[in-house]
């Protein structure tokens, strides 16, 4: 039974809450240290009070009151900011009403506990009265709103202005009977105000300043809330555009697959007829030469059927040699004038890999085409090195083209992303095909220094023992 919510607390700590608790801990420690940083001595509050009572000067009394409000506001700001950060976290993380109420209550109790620690350490009494309750109610309201796009510094702006406004109520003499102004300094100011007949002036100015600061705090909050809503709308629209783009890509893919299937169906029909007539020829003509020709025809038909199956079925794989794979690859780029550009070095032509030749060949061709597109006019070179790494084959494709910037490199595998007028699925398709073969693909590039693509494909299981390091 989790009476005190210990399990819930552990769960909170486990779910990306460390940063929140570090910030809260820092703010609470800062709140404890505040009496050492700002106090009545370095603000000369009692100096102004003594002068005001000796000279019956209401202006000096107002200066002392202003200094007191500033001192109190700055002192308690870290404490209330810590509570506000926690309240936001509770509202975001907790969905059950009971646990939200429980953790909200625990969070609010941090304030009087912090006041108690400050009194124990420094001997300074912070009064937990009506101003504290009003501020807490405001924080509860602010934290209930989803302001994900408003930074902590912006939030602290309207909170400090709100605190300053409410602190002025501690100086109003007529509010003493309603839980305001029970602090030591506040009592002294109000007593002196009565002595020098400044109660009306003090009440009037304090009330005006309360409304001014509070109104500005609410106004700033409304502005930031409107900004947050606008940014949220932008996020939603961006997400909708992304989903629409994904839908368009899927539609293109489905249409392309449908067209491919129709084409394959059309191809299989004449292949079946060719195979049938070849068999008939073999039956009718029993000469050795005819049998040899028929066998070649049937073998070619079988090979075409395998290729068609590889086009349709992504997981359809068979064992082929590196030489066979690159014969297919190089035949697909033969239309390019690459005699002086393409340098191919295959060190392990007999090594076998289990692959879908059509898809793998297409993936490698896409990478080579990207290298071709990046080449400049001066001494363009594309190097392809295939080496045996004992347990895997390494295919390294490098060029001396213009290179790829870091921001483009970070998005280069995203579906639909392209720096050219294309569908943006080439490299993404290549990576997916390679990973579907339990391989890996890595791109290293730098502007002005070209690009290197490293592909690693596992050897066929029958070929693992061979090769050299």
Between the ranges 25-29, 102-106, 286-290, where is the mean pLDDT highest?
Answer: 25-29
Q: What is residue 251's predicted lDDT score, i.e. its pLDDT?
A: 73
Tokens describing residue 345 = 């070095």
Distances (CA, A) of 17 to 85, 154, 170, 373: 11, 21, 36, 47
pLDDT of 61 > 80? The answer is yes
d(CA 163, CA 185): 17
Q: What is residue 208's predicted lDDT score, i.e. its pLDDT?
A: 94
Tokens describing residue 147 = 């302001």
Q: For strand 382-388 and strand 342-346, is the pairing parallel, antiparallel, or unpaired?
A: parallel
Q: Is the pTM higher than 0.85?
A: no
Confidence of residue 462 (pLDDT cuts 50, 70, 90): very low
Other C-beta atoms closer than 10 Å to the C-beta of 134 total 18
- How many Cα neighbours within 13 Å face the side chain of 104? 19
Task: Give me the mean pLDDT over the 252-278 stretch.
Answer: 66
**Per-position DSSP letters for 126-139, written without gaps between them:** ---SHHHHHHHHHH
Structure confidence by residue, pLDDT tens digits, 325-337: 888 888 777 555 5
3-state secondary structure of 320: strand
Task: Give me the mean pLDDT over the 126-132 stretch.
Answer: 88
pLDDT of 286 > 70? The answer is no
Structure confidence by residue, pLDDT tens digits, 315-359: 678 888 988 888 888 877 755 557 678 888 999 888 988 888 878
Task: Give me the mean pLDDT over the 61-87 stretch.
Answer: 92
- Sorted by where each begins, the domain ranges of the chain are 6-244, 314-463
Distances (CA, A) of 179 to 112, 190, 209, 347: 15, 14, 19, 88
Q: What is residue 423's predicted lDDT score, i.e. its pLDDT?
A: 40
Name the average pLDDT for the chain: 81
Least confident of 225-229, 294-298, 453-457: 294-298
Task: Give me the mean pLDDT over the 166-188 stretch.
Answer: 86
3-state secondary structure of 423: coil
Between the ranges 146-160, 188-202, 306-320, 335-349, where is the mean pLDDT highest?
Answer: 188-202
Angle at 398 between CA 392 and CA 400, to 5 degrees: 170
pLDDT of 9 > 60? The answer is no
Other C-beta atoms closer than 10 Å to the C-beta of 216 total 16
Q: Which residue has the tokens 């295919």?
A: 395
Q: What is residue 64's predicted lDDT score, i.e. its pLDDT?
A: 92
Q: Let me know: does 159 contact 82? Beta carbons within 8 Å.
A: no
Structure confidence by residue, pLDDT tens digits, 23-60: 889 999 999 999 999 988 889 998 999 999 899 999 99
Q: Which of 451, 353, 358, 356 is nearest to 396 (CA)?
A: 451
d(CA 167, CA 176): 13
Percentage of the chain beyond pLDDT 70 is 82
Q: What is residue 312's predicted lDDT score, i.e. its pLDDT?
A: 61
Q: 314-463, which class in CATH?
A: alpha beta
CB neighbour list of residue 73: distance below 8 Å, 6 or more residues apart: 160, 163, 164, 167
d(CA 10, CA 93): 13
């Amino acid at each position: 039974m989790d009476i005190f919510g210990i399990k819930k607390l552990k769960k909170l700590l486990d779910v990306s809450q460390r940063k929140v608790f570090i910030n809260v801990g820092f703010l609470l420690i800062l709140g404890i240290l505040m009496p050492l940083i700002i106090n009545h001595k370095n603000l000369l509050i009692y100096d102004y009070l003594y002068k005001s009572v000796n000279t019956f000067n209401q202006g000096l009394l107002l200066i002392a009151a202003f200094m007191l409000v500033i001192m109190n506001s700055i002192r308690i700001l870290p404490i209330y900011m810590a509570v506000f950060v926690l309240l936001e976290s509770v509202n975001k993380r907790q969905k059950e009403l009971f646990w939200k109420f429980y953790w909200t209550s625990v969070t609010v109790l941090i304030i009087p506990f912090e006041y108690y620690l400050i009194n124990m350490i420094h001997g300074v009494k912070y009064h937990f009265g009506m101003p504290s309750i009003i501020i807490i109610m405001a924080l509860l309201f602010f934290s209930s709103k989803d302001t994900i796009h408003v930074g902590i510094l912006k939030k602290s702006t309207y909170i400090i202005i709100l605190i300053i406004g409410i602190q002025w109520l501690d100086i109003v003499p007529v509010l003493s009977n309603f839980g305001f102004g029970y602090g030591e300094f506040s009592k002294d100011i109000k007593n002196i105000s009565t002595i020098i007949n400044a109660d009306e002036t003090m009440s009037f100015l304090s009330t005006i300043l309360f409304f001014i600061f509070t109104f500005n705090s609410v106004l700033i909050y409304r502005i930031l809330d409107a900004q947050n809503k606008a940014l949220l709308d932008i996020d939603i629209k961006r997400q909708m555009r992304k989903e629409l783009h994904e839908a368009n890509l899927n539609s293109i893919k489905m249409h392309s697959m449908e067209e491919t299937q129709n084409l394959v169906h059309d191809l299989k029909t004449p292949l079946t007829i060719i195979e049938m007539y070849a068999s008939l020829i073999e039956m009718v003509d029993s000469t050795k030469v005819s049998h040899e020709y028929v066998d070649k025809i049937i073998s070619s038909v079988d090979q075409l059927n395998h290729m068609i199956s590889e086009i349709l079925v992504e997981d359809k794989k068979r064992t082929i040699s590196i030489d066979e794979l690159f014969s297919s690859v190089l035949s697909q780029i033969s239309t390019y004038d690459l005699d002086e550009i393409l340098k191919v070095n295959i060190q392990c032509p007999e090594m076998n890999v289990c692959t879908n030749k059509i898809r793998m060949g297409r993936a490698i061709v896409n990478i080579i085409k990207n290298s071709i597109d990046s080449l400049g006019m001066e001494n363009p070179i594309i190097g392809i090195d295939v080496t045996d790494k004992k347990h895997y084959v390494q295919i390294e494709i490098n060029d001396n083209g213009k290179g790829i910037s870091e921001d483009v490199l970070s998005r280069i595998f995203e579906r639909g992303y392209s720096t050219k007028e294309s569908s943006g699925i080439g490299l993404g398709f290549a990576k997916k095909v390679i990973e579907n073969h339990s391989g890996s693909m890595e791109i290293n590039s730098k502007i002005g220094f070209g690009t290197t693509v490293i592909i690693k494909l596992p050897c066929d299981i029958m070929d693992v023992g061979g090769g050299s390091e």
